[in-house]
Structure 1
Amino acid sequence: MSAPVKSEPLGRARVPVRGGAPRTFPRRVRRRTAGPWLHLAPALVVLGGLLAYPIYQLGLISLFHYTQAQVSGGEPTSFQGLGNYQRLFSDPQFWQVLSATVVFAAVCVVSTLVVGCALAVLLTRVRALPRLALMLAALGAWATPAITGSTVWLFLFDPDFGPVNRVLGLGDHSWTYGRFSAFFLVLLEVVWCSFPFVMVTVYAGIRAVPSEVLEAAALDGASQWRIWRSVLAPMLRPILVVVTIQSVIWDFKVFTQIYVMTNGGGIAGQNLVLNVYAYQQAFASSQYSLGAAIGVVMLLILLAVTLVYLRLVRRQGEEL
């Protein structure tokens, strides 16, 4: 006669375990995992409405022929499929602007991280009063609107009245005339208004590192650079991932600084980036569908860069 099957108590779940008997876990534990998602549900719904619907509309417009004639109702819209993307990818100017955007954004991100991390370490080495002055100055740069900061930097490097040319003895040299000098001027402004976020975030992470770890590294004779490279950077990697991704997104889609400081993209469009290029196509040329296609391409590029970066970090065993 076979042995009777023992039933599990009510409210418990059987979980099979390799090489042993099934383990039981209360159903209450499984229900707790859904609790945080229920609390986040209202915010997720709001964010979904604010983000998902505009992205849907952007992708939808990029599939149609949508110009000023369609906006005013003079002509009906016509479905183009991937025609706008084919037109975009066959345009040599698009690839020139894309390459310039990638290089410019990469230089901005690296420069911002270097300046922000260096000043964050400096904040841990100075006294309270200099630290407060540096923090206030950085927060002032961070709080300055982009258009205001761009105007100030234009005045500083103005060929007629700017103090920079006078100090350097450059006469009436125009920084916005040449392509590389104009990009360099915009780079300075972008780093100036972006490094405070990196500095404050990394500084908060450094303050959370146990002082015993840093003292032990110093007693072992490690230099400041070695302490940062071998001790602080690995411990701050989750924070550095966040600030890097944020910097990539911000610098890749920079618009105001380029548009204001180069007067809409520079002479003959030599300082165009993708965001300004999309603006010119959508609003200056009334090619709204082409501008939407550029926006979709930018979204996919940023999404791909973020996913690849997160994947590389997770391969190293970091928890984010």
Structure 2
Amino acid sequence: MVAQDTAVVERTRTARSTAPAPRTPRGRRPGPAPWLLLAPALVVLGGLLAYPVYQLGLISLFHYTQAQVSGGEPTTFEGLGNYAELFGDDRFWQVLRDTVLFAAACVVCTLAVGCALAVLLTRVRAVPRLALMLAALGAWATPAVTGSTVWLLLFDADFGPVNRVLGLGDHAWTYGRLSAFFLVLLEVVWCSFPFVMVTVYAGIRAVPSEVLEAAALDGASQWRIWRSVLAPMLRPILVVVTIQSVIWDFKVFTQIYVMTGGGGIAGQNLVLNVYAYQQAFASSQYSLGAAIGVVMLLILLAVTLVYLRLLRRQGEEW
């Protein structure tokens, strides 16, 4: 079995090494043409992202509440005082921990479902493939509010069909902390896996058929082909969908807010985005809400930079 796996990996590396790769001539650097082509998009993104991020960071440095918004009191500079208050609050660290664990579970489940269905698409006929693609794209196109409402109806304690099928009686999924998180996780995975499925399926279709046939002739199982052949060749695509999933799932708001009624009973299902909303708009502590937003931005930026660095290292080693 070890010899077969080694042969599969060697064949994969040989097939990848034979493909010509474009190289920049030594001693020459890319000209300004790429930046000129990207300039319109950079200008639009700068206008849509740079200014709001600047305002978010600015508000987080001041004492900014409803009194300052209405003009009843002057705005005072707090520096890092809002961040000190935030980091000294045990509730913030609990919400941050729950957010990280919930986002990690959503990312893992989304990638697992999306990759499994992408492989399935390559093994079914045209009609079932088209039906699965249309169903997945329907889930992808459904607005978050609509999807969350539908899932609440499916798991409703009185009229939901899920409890009747499972024989759970009048079990209320949103009352328990873990069951509510699990219900939201199902909805997040349902509306997120189509992006992973379509992207990975496109990557699999681009893999040379000779590589997969060689792995099958060497006696590799489907799981071994995925782990030793497809996953390494699809590493750049997998990194991209992972980063996207981390960003989307870490800043989940609509599903939690709609399905748990604003964060669950006594805030037991709070995540950072909902917590920031409560601080900024429910409590009128706009500066604390902005500070939470800045912390979320820095966390997501750090995650993205780490993944890109790992991708670069793995590419050099491979």
Q: TM-score, normalised by structure 1?
A: 0.89
Question: Which residue of structure 1 lines up, in the alignment, with residue 203 of structure 2?
Answer: 205
Question: Which residue of structure 2 lines up, in the alignment, with residue 157 of structure 1?
Answer: 155
Runs of 4+ in 1 over 2 A off after TM superposition: none
Partners of 1:170 and 1:198 in 2: CA distance: 32
Show the 5 A alignment for 1:216-235: 216-235=214-233
Question: Which residue of structure 2 lines up, in the alignment, with residue 119 of structure 1?
Answer: 117
Higher relative contact order by CA 8 Å / sep ≥ 6: 1 or 2?
Answer: 2
Given the alignment of the two structures, is residue 292 of structure 1 paired with residue 284 of structure 2, yes or no? Answer: no
- Specify which of 308, 311, 317 is matched with residue 309 of structure 2: 311
Post-superposition shift, 1:313? 2.1
The residue matched to 1:317 in structure 2 has which SS?
helix
Question: Which residue of structure 1 lines up, in the alignment, with residue 246 of structure 2?
Answer: 248
Question: Which residue of structure 1 lines up, in the alignment, with residue 5 of structure 2?
Answer: none
Per-residue CA deviation, residues 181-209 of structure 1 (Å, 9 max, x unaligned), is: 00000000000000000000000000000
Question: Which residue of structure 1 lines up, in the alignment, with residue 263 of structure 2?
Answer: 265
Question: Which residue of structure 2 lines up, in the alignment, with residue 17 of structure 1?
Answer: none
Per-residue CA deviation, residues 50-74 of structure 1 (Å, 9 max, x unaligned), is: 1111100000000000011111111
Question: Which residue of structure 2 lines up, in the alignment, with residue 87 of structure 1?
Answer: 85
Question: Which residue of structure 2 lines up, in the alignment, with residue 99 of structure 1?
Answer: 97
Post-superposition shift, 1:118? 0.1
Show the 5 A alignment for 1:165-204: 165-204=163-202
Given the alignment of the two structures, is residue 141 of structure 1 paired with residue 139 of structure 2, yes or no? Answer: yes
Deviates more, 1:267-276 or 1:305-314: 305-314
Question: Which residue of structure 2 lines up, in the alignment, with residue 274 of structure 1?
Answer: 272
Query: For the structure 1 residues 38 and 203, does the alpha-carbon distance in structure 2 shift closer, same or farther, using more than 3 Å as the test?
Result: same
> Structure 2: which amino acid aligns with 1:43?
A
Post-superposition shift, 1:318? 5.4
> Structure 1: which amino acid aligns with 2:275?
Y
Per-residue CA deviation, residues 233-290 of structure 1 (Å, 9 max, x unaligned), is: 0000000010000000000000000000000000000000000000000000000000
Post-superposition shift, 1:317? 2.1
Partners of 1:40 and 1:254 in 2: CA distance: 29
> Structure 2: which amino acid aligns with 1:233?
A
> Structure 1: which amino acid aligns with 2:215?
A
Q: CA RMSD in A?
A: 1.5
Partners of 2:80 and 2:35 in 1: CA distance: 37
Per-residue CA deviation, residues 106-144 of structure 1 (Å, 9 max, x unaligned), is: 000000000000000000000000000000000000000
Question: Which residue of structure 1 lines up, in the alignment, with residue 21 of structure 2?
Answer: none
Post-superposition shift, 1:225? 0.2
> Structure 1: which amino acid aligns with 2:301?
L
The structure that is helix-richer by fraction is 2
The residue matched to 2:307 in structure 1 has which SS?
helix
The residue matched to 2:315 in structure 1 has which SS?
coil
Post-superposition shift, 1:39? 2.0
Query: For the structure 1 residues 318 and 176, does the alpha-carbon distance in structure 2 shift closer, same or farther, using more than 3 Å as the test?
Result: farther
Q: TM-score, normalised by structure 2?
A: 0.90
Runs of 5+ unmatched residues, structure 2: 1-24
Partners of 2:34 and 2:305 in 1: CA distance: 24
Contact 1:238 1:318 in 2 (8 A): no
Contact 1:59 1:293 in 2 (8 A): yes
